[in-house]
Amino acid sequence: MLSNYIRAAMTRAQYREMLKDDAIYGEIPGFDGVCAKADTLENCRHDLSEALEEWIFFRVSRKLPVPEIDGVRFPEQDIA
């Protein structure tokens, strides 16, 4: 369901250290605008997961497509 989809998308997350800001930046390729910046990797993962949830609900509320991830499809009919 939703948690399976989020878990699959989060496996694609990429993180990098931002030395200038002393922070961790994370994003998920293929999910435009889904990103987070935090002081620790754990906090960045948490914030990135929340950003992904918001992105999903935004797309579903506007009947926009949500991409399939490694064979995991988003259960749009269960949310809408």
d(CA 76, CA 39): 33
Write down the domain spans for the chain: 2-65
In this prediction, residue 70 carries a pLDDT of 86
pLDDT tens for the chain, 80 residues long, are 788 899 999 999 999 999 998 999 999 999 999 999 999 999 999 999 999 999 999 999 999 999 999 888 876 544 44
- As a whole number of Å, the CA-based R_g of the chain is 13
Task: Give residue 76's pLDDT.
Answer: 59
Do residues 25 and 15 make contact, with C-beta atoms less than 8 angstroms apart?
yes
Which class does domain 2-65 fall in?
A: alpha beta
